[in-house]
Amino acid sequence: MSLARCRPRVTAAAVGYLARVGLLVRLGGDLEFPGVHPDQVAALARRRDLPALLDRHVPLGPDQAAERLGARRTDFDQVVRLGWLAPVGSVDVDYRRQGGVTAVPLYDAQEIALLEVVRPHVDWRAVRTARAGSRNPLAALDPVVPSSGRVFLAGVARIARVGRAAVVNWRRRHPDFPDPVAGTDVHPQFDCGAVVAWLLAHDKIGVPVGPTVASLAVAGPGGATRRFRRLGPHCGQYQGRSRGPAPGAPRTPRAAAERHRGDDPRGARST
């Protein structure tokens, strides 16, 4: 049982970014909001790698970044406070009812998506499932220091989810593996950003797909239901408990069939 892949919502500003990198041909208009051919937009929308293209080329504001992370805005603000992300630019937004023009920071969507890969020690499930009004799971952590952007071989192995020996082998076999920036010959340290870029380029890691709120409610005999939540590209992770049959509902498939004889069987519905 599977769900259709969720297509990302694209803003007019995102279309401008895609045109600037050559994925769409600008037919006129200004650089931020160019005129483009609708057939080209339709063809781009059909590409299976569209989510990855958006992550690579379209920066996100704080609210969009929190949505991409799958967390509350307060959680994303903690990520910025901790120094795990830095703005890659800004855009001026005119909030006419809130004091005029404000510079809104923009963040790299791919860096946001890779947070859970680069920092595997964080309980990201707890961050993403924190309820409104509850204490922020990241509030107790201290901001990073300059040297925290470096990783040992064991740290590279944790990011790539392999053993340390595999990283040693990559370093020996690939001349383009990043050079150490600190440490010793026995315990070298590498720049984390350079390592992540190398791992991506060599298909050792991938950019996680965006979190989604798509869910599937499966109705069973007698009104009992189970709800599945799609946390990745495939449905199959069950959250919550089964709901028992409604009061007065038949408790066996045969009783249910007798009660609903002549009706269409209940199936699955996507929400």
Pick from 167, 187, 191, 163: nearest CA to 178: 191
DSSP string, 170-225: HHHH-TTSPPP-EE-SSSEEEEHHHHHHHHHHTTSS-PPPPP---EEEEE-GGG-E
User: Residue 8, by phi and psi: left (phi above 0), alpha (psi -120 to 50) or beta?
Assistant: beta
Give the pLDDT means over successive 10-residue stretches in the chain (271 positions): 44 77 78 77 80 82 90 93 90 73 88 90 90 87 76 92 94 94 91 91 84 50 55 38 46 45 39 39
**177 within 8 A of 160, measured Cβ to Cβ:** no
Q: According to the model, what pLDDT value does residue 140 have?
A: 87
> What is the C-alpha to C-alpha distance for residues 84 and 197, in angstroms, rounded to an integer?
16
pTM above 0.75, yes or no: no
> What is the C-alpha to C-alpha distance for residues 64 and 15, in angstroms, rounded to an integer?
16
**91 within 8 A of 102, measured Cβ to Cβ:** no
Q: Judge residue 184's burial from the number of C-beta atoms within 10 Å of its C-beta, 0-12 exposed, 13-18 middle, 19 or more buried.
A: exposed
Q: According to the model, what pLDDT value does residue 148 have?
A: 66
Q: According to the model, what pLDDT value does residue 39 have?
A: 84
> What is the C-alpha to C-alpha distance for residues 263 and 223, in angstroms, rounded to an integer?
14
> Would you say the C-alpha torsion 16, 19, 21, 23 has a positive or negative sign?
positive
Q: According to the model, what pLDDT value does residue 227 have?
A: 52
Axis-axis angle for helices 73-81, 62-69 (nearest 10) = 100
**What is the number of other CB atoms lying within 10 angstroms of the CB of residue 241?**
8
**192 within 8 A of 180, measured Cβ to Cβ:** no
> What is the C-alpha to C-alpha distance for residues 31 and 91, in angstroms, rounded to an integer?
14
**CA of 165: how far to CAs of 64, 157, 244, in Å?**
39, 8, 50
- Token pair for residue 200? 């991506």
> What is the C-alpha to C-alpha distance for residues 77 and 73, in angstroms, rounded to an integer?
6
Q: According to the model, what pLDDT value does residue 104 have?
A: 87
- Token pair for residue 240? 């919550």
